[in-house]
Every structure is written in structure tokens, then in C-alpha cells.
Amino acid sequence: MSRTSRMLVLAGLASLGACGGGSDPAPVATPPPSAPVELALDATNYQGAMKNALEWSDSAFQYAKLGADVADRLVNSPVALVPIFRCPVSGVATITLTDRNRNGVLNEGDTLSLFLDRCITDTVNVTGVVRIEVTSAGPLGNGREYELLVQLIDLTLTPLAAGTEPVTINFTGSLDFSWTSDFDHYVLTFGVYRHTQAGQTQSVANLVVDYLQHYDTLRYEYLVQGTLGAGANGEFRVSTPLSFTGVIGSNPSAGRLGLAGASNSAARLSEEGAAASNSATVLVSVDTNGDGVADSAVPELAWTQLLPPGMFSSLRGRPPQALLPIP
């Protein structure tokens, strides 16, 4: 027994003597975490929940896409020549790179970490960490395929415009990304995304986003599932039992999104009925008690009231998050 171990044992015996005997105190049970509050979907909130489901999952996807964009630019670049990240106005942006297989290039098994300290761009002040781990990378036809782990750790974005509250982003997600001249395919799994602003936190857990764009046919396919919540306002589950499909740059022409909340409440969004023949609208409805009968419905709700801007535009035309000094 080492000297340190003996001292620890003696200290433990001394504390027992001071307590007056050899009986152990009764263990103090750790209370289980409180169950999350579920949102009861009803006529007053289901459209807002649908809008949040689309916006939050798209935002999480865009941060994952940021990691894929950076990896795709830098993989197989000589480590010594990876560009220096500079803050456009002021502040500090430093980068660390691993080269685990010591082959002199950034590729499979390597990790890129970007540390930002009050890094000011034209529109925002950024502090936090962006980390991209390349699990695998290899050729695919005339393109490439990747497995990545993307993390954003306490990334705080403070807009320079007066009167705008800072936003703090935490994100972790595994991303399978593949592309050729004919398609881009992103599969985000096990994603956790938290967006905190003015003391309110929006969260997405157990996230899956599968987004495929075919450039030879100009079609897309999109599905999402996960658990979404906003603190005391409650959480709900989202899924797409039928993938959204359509022409790149246009609203979906087919597909269905479902929400599940407390007390068997459920809501749906789908291209059917009158909305099926109107590309600008979609059917939305809510069943507040799970009896299979809609308690409130809008046969033709404008897509513009639900979709984030550019959600179904060309992924190659959507720039990466412009908030970061990514070259």
C-alpha cells in the first residue's frame, strides 16, 4: 500500500472514530430528476409548435452543415497550410489541429478546434468554441463522403445592432455527409441543440435530420424527428411519417409532419385536401384528446407562416453561417 493510500485509510478511520462508532450513516438518496413538462397541443398553440419544429430543426441542421462545409474545404489540405482564421474587425480567433496519423494533412481521425474570444465581424461579436472531428473521409465517385462530429460549445453571438439580446448556442451532433456532382446528402443524428436568449432556452434532443437534394432531377427529400421544448412552456415530439418532397427552391408538394404532446394530443401538417393543389398552402390540424378527430383545422395555411426563409432552397446556394470568420 502506498503512503498516500495509507493516509487516506487512516483519515477515514479517524473520521469514523470522531462519529462515535463503526456504523455507517444511512445513505442519502439522490432524488430523480423531475419529469419534463409536456406541452398539451390545442387550437391556440399547435401552429406555433409547428413553426418552432421547422425553425429549430433547420437551425440545428445549419450548424451541422457549417461543420461539413469547413471539413470539406480543409480535408486533405496540408496541416501547415490550413488558413489562419482572423476576426474581420477585432478580437482573437485561434485554431488547433490534431494530426493523429502524422501524415501532414487534415483527414480521418483529426480534429479542428476554433476558439473565438470577442471576435467581431461586421454584424456580431462572437465568443466560444467550434470543434469538428473527422471520423472518416473518403472519395465517392466524383465527390466525397464524411462522418463528422460537430460541436459548438457556449458559442455566444452578440449582435452589434442596439437592442438585440445575445444568443448562446450549444450543439453536438454526428453528421454523415456525402456529395457528388449530382447530389448533396446530409444525415444528422443524435443531435442536441440549445438556443438561449434573454433567459429563455429552446432545446432539441434526439434529433434526426435526413436531407437529400438531387441536382440532376432538381428534387429534394427531407425528414426530421426529435424532441423539442422551451423550458416551462413544455416539450413535444416531432416526426415526419412521410418525407417532404418537392422541387428545389419551392415549397413541398408532398409530405406530412406530426407533433405529439401531452394527454395524447397531436397535430399534423400535410399536403392534402385543397392544399394539395395549391403550392403556396398546407393543411394543418390538431386533435386535442387523441380520439382521431380534428378539433381545429386550417385547410389552406400559407407555407410562409411556417417555413424558415430558404429552408428548401439549394443547399449549395445557401452560404454557411455568416456569423463566423470561416474562410
Q: So what's the pLDDT on residue 170?
A: 94
Q: Would you say 238 and 255 are in contact if contact means Cβ atoms under 8 Å apart?
A: no
Q: What is the pTM of this model?
A: 0.83
- Mean pLDDT for the chain? 84
Per-domain boundaries in the chain: 46-305
The gap from C-alpha 212 to its chain's centroid, in whole angstroms, comes to 17
7 φ, ψ (degrees, to nearest 5): -65, -40
Taking only the tens place, the pLDDT of each residue in 167-186 is 999 999 999 999 999 999 99
Closest CA to 320 of 60, 58, 57, 63: 63
119 φ, ψ (degrees, to nearest 5): -85, 115
Q: So what's the pLDDT on residue 297?
A: 97
Q: Strand 124-140 vs strand 90-97: parallel, antiparallel, or unpaired?
A: unpaired
Q: So what's the pLDDT on residue 1?
A: 42
Q: Which has more pLDDT, 87 or 39?
A: 39
The grid cell for 150 is 460537430
**What value does the mean pLDDT take over residues 83-87?**
69
Most confident among 69-73, 130-134, 244-248, 307-311 (mean pLDDT) = 244-248
E strands within the chain?
90-97, 111-120, 124-140, 143-159, 167-179, 183-197, 200-214, 219-229, 235-247, 254-260, 266-270, 281-287, 296-302
pLDDT above 80 (res 256): yes
- Distance between CA 133 and CA 109 in Å, rounded? 7
Please count the other Cβ atoms lying within 10 Å of the Cβ belonging to residue 116.
Answer: 23
Taking only the tens place, the pLDDT of each residue in 181-218 is 999 999 999 888 998 988 888 888 899 999 999 999 99
Q: So what's the pLDDT on residue 30?
A: 56
**End-to-end CA separation in angstroms for the chain:** 56
**What value does the mean pLDDT take over residues 68-83?**
74
Please count the other Cβ atoms lying within 10 Å of the Cβ belonging to residue 61.
Answer: 25
**What value does the mean pLDDT take over residues 47-56?**
94
Beta bridge partners of 137: 146
The grid cell for 67 is 461543420
**What value does the mean pLDDT take over residues 267-291?**
95
pLDDT above 50 (res 10): no
- Distance between CA 195 and CA 204 in Å, rounded? 9
Only one residue has cell 430558404, namely 310
- What type of residue sits at position 213? Q
CB under 8 A, 24+ apart: contacts of 186-192: 186/61, 186/64, 186/65, 186/68, 186/210, 186/211, 186/212, 186/315, 187/211, 188/60, 188/61, 188/64, 191/60, 191/64, 191/226
